[in-house]
Chains A and B, each alone.
Chain A
């Protein structure tokens, strides 16, 4: 038995943190979806949250269905907490009846799949404190290899998450050889006592936000003699970089600029710079900002940056009130006043302009 385990496509999701790149981010998720369905396997499992919401545009549902239908084998779609099986949901769309290889899990049941059986139960609510995998044990299935599919939070991942909790023993409880999970966007494996990976989150097929660990993957699972072998495959097309950089010495910003310049073009970059800006490198900050046109999105937060008290620029300031003001702003900036830091940077820039 060999299948693709994917989930959390979140098609149509909002991307408010990416500024003007939101639409590109949404398009990229469809592109990544196309990469998933091009993978070789006997069948494909989408373990929930195919869509960001049940209210996404119906044209998008149609388009997604068409992409899924390109997979050469059967595709099983599990309604998740973002797209629960409800009246008026995305699962009412005609596209799910349009292609014979697309099967939406509409009730707890077993499906015959190449090499064995799939058992799955849909989510019908956005929020619930019931274990959605509990019912899997009650599904009758023929003897042989059994793959289970569910959507929720495995106990212990996040103590603050109470919705759709999934027992750590859900796989064995369901008498399955492998439990394909969705909901968490990072790829994560849960080996059993013998070290076999029988429960796994495949992670989102495309990264959904800054700071997301190990997302943009799909899993290819091969089960032989009841033992799963899991292979993580890169499917994401975008690169999300969240950089928190501390600059101190002269030359640090040059190094940062070079580092940013080396990032791939289809990147979204969130850069937080703190530390000291030397007068000689003040212009580099502007250069960094101008590099934004190279990427899908570049957001720079330099509020933690303050001009270095090097021998350069402050001594060149006109003596008297200006120097006194600079000294006062530096003292406030040193005490953590970000506005004073920015004011000092403004003064530095203006002094440079006046000197020019």
Chain B
């Protein structure tokens, strides 16, 4: 803002109107003596431009109204601002008014009036124009900088608005419209991607794109995994089929060998069976022949025993006969003794008594003996004999038809027989016999089973078992021979008992007679004195009798005879059995035939064994391993084929899923989206960098403002004090703080008043010049150089002249001569203007 003219009336010392018109846009000097109103003029400018027309009367009286005069102040200012000319007229107190006009085509036309005019003018000149009058320093706005009042040279505390404006002035683009506009565009771009705090916006295209990229990436990874699995499956299946082919080839090569081996094994089994059968046949025949021969031998033995028994029996017979022959003599002798002994007594009855007693004793003894003997009954012994005979017959038949297996171990073996593990030492021979079958398992080698060819073997075995059981029940733990012997003995006793009973029965009727006779005999014996001789004779005869009885003991001899008879009969029965079996043996032909058959069987068995040995010798050594290999191969093939079928099924299923095209789409979409995202990211990064760089530049400019001010102020100061003057130091509050001197700092209090005045001026001029960068500004210096010496004052004049290129300068002074050298300055004599 520069002022073209100012007209003031009824204002302090100007009770009459005074008008300064034609102010130069550059240098102006208004001079007058002290009290001429130079400062009042400056005050009028401040009130006219910045104050409200509706100030209170007290305020107006205090600051504007001429002293002691009831006049109404009026101020009219014509000025230029923003490339246009404006006119403001304000009246205070009575008829207070404010009117703002703008020059249009050479004519001022009203723009606003009253408070509106005041406000518009303040807004035009000051960003934070005075709210309550312009008297307060803080409300002067830029005039704080531009207008230098009288008084101490110190600069005022800059208001925030002034600081902001100065900052912008030094930073130029910080708050210029163009810079603001550009910064706004940068910020707009920034906000496309980021929040005001610099976080990525949720609505930023990058967020959605990143989500899309991730989603496609995830899908692509999944599909790729499936695709790779399918590829592996194909390769696996290929390898598997190749392996299957190789295995099939190997199996095909192996099968003939295995079949040959199996055929050999079959032949071996047949040969083994044949050898077993031939051996069994041989053994059967051998057994039969052995049995036959044993039976013959037994028969011979029995025959010899029978002959011996016959001899014994004959001797017993003869002894018995001899004894029987001696019997009459012995009885006669006994009678003689009895007669001697019982002479005088009833010799007739006494022998009967003695016989009675002897028989009674004999029967008693025989019965006791019989009861103690526990001999079998007739039926029992008959049944035993019958069962024994049948058992021997059936056993012989069963034995003849049984399997007989001889096992000779060539090395230590463990075999299983009827489920039991049996260890056989090397060289040990194990004979195995069974009526029906024999099954031997050689673990890890083979199971050998031989079955009887005789279908009746099972029946025979059952019959033998049954007969044995029945016989065992009858024998009740005894042997047949014992029972036979007891039976024979009992028969003999029974016979004796029968005979004794028969003899005793008639004597028993004479028991009473015998008891009386015995009693009398005792009495008679005691009464006969010469009986001694008789007795001695009796004794002699008695000894003879006893000796004869002993020698010819008929019962004993009869018993011996009975025993010999029984033995002979037993042997005869056995012989009969043997004969019967020999007859059975002979029924199938003469023994010579059997011996011939046995020799043939032996030959056949030898041949079968030799054939078996040949087969065993010719058996493939790796038969088991071949079979095992083929088995494993076939198992492996089955498994491989199953796996291959499974894989093929999986692949077929995958082929219907268009895996590769879906993978291609996912990867392409991922790539495309990532490309777009990349572009956005680069752009976002660029915009972020641009914004940050811009802000950084602003901050750098702001922080360097004191230095910039100091630099400009020093430039001015050196034009005043010379090029070697110390640089001015400017504080953070943008006030001159003294000088930088080498090795020290000189504060404002340490320098002269003139230099303080000059430094303040240099700093103020630097600030004012910056403020005028975009538009010429009015700078007023009210007697500001009073302490400056003439030489430096001359330099100041030069400096003012230079500054007038940007500033409208009004110097208010009471020493106009000092400014006589100002080039092109308009000079106003205030005294003359008041006239």
Contacts and interface: CB of A to CB of B under 8 A. Distances in A.
Q: Do A and B share a complex?
A: yes
Interface of A: 12-20, 22, 26, 52-58, 60, 86-89, 124-126, 299, 303, 317-325, 328-329, 338-340, 342-347, 350-351, 353-354
B426 interface: no
Given A318-B172, A321-B171, A54 B234 contact: yes
Contacts of B227: 53, 55
A54 B667 CA distance: 18
Contact of A350 (B189, B654, B696, B697): B189
Nearest to B186: A350
B751 interface: no
Contacts of A13: 664
Nearest to B182: A354
Contacts of B234: 54, 86-89
Interface stretch (B306-314, B612-620, B685-693, B735-743): B685-693
B686 A320 contact: no
Interface stretch (B97-105, B235-243, B433-441): B235-243
B165 to A, nearest CB: 14
Interface string B655-696: 110111101110110111001000000110111011001101
A85 B79 CA distance: 96
Interface string B687-724: 10110011011101100000000000000000000000
A224 to B, nearest CB: 41
A343 B172 contact: no
29 contacts: A14-B667, A14-B668, A16-B664, A17-B671, A55-B231, A55-B663, A60-B661, A86-B234, A86-B238, A87-B648, A88-B237, A88-B651, A89-B234, A299-B675, A317-B173, A320-B171, A321-B694, A324-B700, A325-B693, A329-B693, A339-B685, A340-B686, A342-B685, A343-B686, A343-B689, A344-B690, A346-B683, A350-B185, A351-B182
B672 A12 contact: no
A15 to B, nearest CB: 6
A12 B661 contact: yes
Contact of B689 (A52, A321, A339): A339
A340 B682 CA distance: 10
Interface string B216-246: 0000000000010011011101100100000
Please report whether the interface of chain B is mostly helix, strand, loop or mixed according to DSSP. Answer: helix
A351 B186 CA distance: 9
Contacts of A350: 182, 185-186, 189
Given A343-B686, A346-B687, A87 B241 contact: yes
Contact of A342 (B186, B235, B237, B682): B682
A303 B238 contact: no
A328 B655 contact: no
B77 interface: no
Contacts of A87: 234, 237-238, 241, 644, 647-648, 651
Nearest to B665: A22
B690 A343 contact: yes
Nearest to A51: B660
Given A12-B661, A320-B176, 7 more contacts: A54-B231, A55-B654, A55-B660, A87-B648, A318-B178, A324-B697, A346-B186
Find the residue from A15, A324, A344, A351 having the highest chain B CB count within 10 A. Answer: A324
Q: What 5 pairs across the A-B complex have the smallest Cβ distances?
A: A320-B172, A320-B173, A88-B651, A318-B173, A342-B686
B173 A342 contact: no
B658 to A, nearest CB: 5
A125 B647 CA distance: 18
Contacts of B186: 346-347, 350
Contacts of B652: 88
Find the residue from B186, B647, B685 having the highest chain A CB count within 10 A. Answer: B186
A16 B667 contact: yes
B253 interface: no
B661 A329 contact: no
Contacts of B672: 16, 19-20
Contacts of A342: 682-683, 685-686
B675 A329 contact: no
Interface in B629-645: 644
A56 B694 contact: no
A303 B185 CA distance: 22
Nearest to B652: A88
Interface of B: 170-174, 176, 178-179, 181-183, 185-186, 189, 227, 230-231, 233-235, 237-238, 241, 644, 647-648, 651-652, 654-656, 658-661, 663-665, 667-668, 670-672, 675, 682-683, 685-687, 689-690, 693-694, 696-698, 700-701
B182 A16 contact: no
B687 A16 contact: no
Contacts of B667: 14, 16
Contact of A340 (B651, B654, B689): B689
Contacts of A86: 234-235, 237-238
A17 B700 CA distance: 44
Contacts of A321: 171-174, 179, 694, 697-698, 700-701
Nearest to B773: A319
A322 B691 CA distance: 10
Contacts of A12: 660-661, 664
A260 to B, nearest CB: 19
Contact of B660 (A52, A322, A343, A345): A52
A11 to B, nearest CB: 11
A26 B231 CA distance: 22
A320 B179 CA distance: 9
Find the residue from B178, B186, B235, B686 having the highest chain A CB count within 10 A. Answer: B686
Given A88-B651, A320-B701, A56 B174 contact: no
A57 B178 CA distance: 60
Contact of A345 (B178, B231, B235, B686): B686
Contact of B693 (A14, A15, A53, A343): A343
A353 to B, nearest CB: 6
A319 B177 CA distance: 11
Contact of A318 (B176, B230, B664): B176
Nearest to A316: B178
Find the residue from B648, B661, B663 having the highest chain A CB count within 10 A. Answer: B661
Nearest to B690: A343
A87 B648 CA distance: 8
A319 B182 CA distance: 12
A342 B678 CA distance: 13
A14 B668 CA distance: 7
Contacts of A54: 231, 234
A351 B234 CA distance: 61
Nearest to A90: B655
A86 B670 CA distance: 30
A55 B241 contact: no
Contacts of A22: 664-665, 668
Find the residue from B671, B689, B698 having the highest chain A CB count within 10 A. Answer: B689
Nearest to B183: A322
Find the residue from B183, B651, B664 having the highest chain A CB count within 10 A. Answer: B664
B173 A322 contact: yes
A339 B655 contact: no
Contact of A325 (B176, B671, B683, B694): B694
B176 to A, nearest CB: 5
B682 A55 contact: no
Contacts of A353: 185
Nearest to B168: A320
